[in-house]
Amino acid sequence: MRAGVQAMHWHAAADYSLGRGAPLHRHAASAAAYNRDADLAMASKALYAMSILLRASVFVVLALAALPVVSQIYPDRPIRLIVGFAPGGAADILGRITAQGLSEAIGQQVVVDNRPGAGALIATEIAARATPDGYTLVFTSPPHVINATLYRKAKYDPIKDFDPVIQVVATALILSVNAGSPLKSVNELVRYARSNPDKLSYGSGGSGASGHLAMELFKSVTGTKIVHVPYKGTGPAITDLIGGQIQTTIASAAPTLPQINAGKLRALAVTSNKRSLALPDVPTIAESGFPAYEVTQWFGILAPAGAPKTVIGRINTAMNVALGKKAVRERFLASSTEPVGRGPEVLRAVIAQEVPKWTTLVHSLDLKVD
């Protein structure tokens, strides 16, 4: 009997301690309800977190969709290399050597797309508007810098709108005349031009082309007046020089040197500050009595601004490999150009130096083309 009473007192105490006198089954029900509420709260928080992650994922997908689509394995289709001059000219010859070398090194076809006109302005603007995915590149040279100032209608910035990929080669230009010309030196050409202003004419690959500005600098330094005849590429200008329609040019070695070696043209001087290995007996313009004169032409590859750095790195590496091959180097050397290569920063530095040089000349001579 006493044990039963003690048991009853124990249960009552337990009930009281758990619920201040409430029955035990009520506490069990309350606990279950509490657990359900806690589970619902946790589930709600989890769903909220999942919704945040889902929305973030959607934003990421949309952002990625707005970027150029670049294959994980670049390149997986042919690459277009735009050349701003007609077939047969220096840019075209060197561009095709570049395209073949790059194609072999990168394992994908590189197609040359000639877009002549306006001294490469047309080609440059096409490249500037292209999708920056590494499948459209432009083979460029000093007109890339010159045209931005020379042409009133130019719609690109030579630095901001492009990413440098690699400088391919550097070369001197050649001042030449028809092989039958009575002018046999720089000084004879200068004396005749000073005595007969605007009687001589010179051809170039177009307004803004390297030969155009190189000759304008020559005229400025020598105090001569020679009429400019622009062509759609250096090739046609060389053809007319051989035919006697024009009297002189300053042009790249690639289209000029073969005609000199064939006896159709005569080299009077080279524009660099040292003699050319291809023409060791031909003096520089500087050593011919005009020390302030020096022009070195460069050629390189640019991509539209915003191209993935991995893609630029891939092209740069492949082109450096190509430039390291004997066959490719020999083809460039045969065109009187010196392979350069190395990283994109080399071409970036060249362009940065060229901008003030040619901008100053264009402004000082008030050269403008519509």
**pLDDT tens sequence across 273-311:** 899 988 999 999 999 999 999 998 999 999 999 999 999
Burial class (CB in 10 A: 0-12, 13-18, 19+), 101: buried
The continuous run of DSSP H or E covering 91 comes out as helix 90-106
Strand duo 265-270 + 110-114: pairing: unpaired
Q: Is the pLDDT of residue 344 over 50?
A: yes
The continuous run of DSSP H or E covering 139 comes out as strand 136-140
334 pLDDT band (50/70/90 cuts)?
confident
Q: For the whole model, what pTM was predicted? A: 0.69
3-state secondary structure of 175: strand
Percent above pLDDT 90 for the chain: 67
Mean pLDDT taken over the chain:
85
The continuous run of DSSP H or E covering 252 comes out as strand 248-252
**pLDDT tens sequence across 7-22:** 334 333 333 333 444 4
pLDDT for 90 equals 81
pLDDT for 42 equals 55
The secondary structure of residue 282, as a DSSP letter, is: S
Averaged pLDDT for residues 315-333: 97
**pLDDT tens sequence across 83-126:** 998 898 888 999 999 999 999 999 999 999 999 988 899 999 99
Selection from 248, 260, 275 nearest residue 186 by Cα: 248
Check residues 150 and 370 and name the one with the higher pLDDT: 150
* Rounded alpha-carbon distances, angstroms, from residue 12 to 18, 21, 93, 166: 10, 7, 106, 91
Report the alpha-carbon distance of residue 311 to residue 307 in Å, rounded. Answer: 7
Do 202 and 246 touch, CB atoms closer than 8 A?
A: yes
Q: Is the pLDDT of residue 30 over 70?
A: no
Phi then psi dihedrals of residue 106, to 5 deg: -95, -10
pLDDT for 206 equals 87
**pLDDT tens sequence across 174-186:** 999 999 999 999 9
3-state secondary structure of 265: strand
Percent above pLDDT 70 for the chain: 81
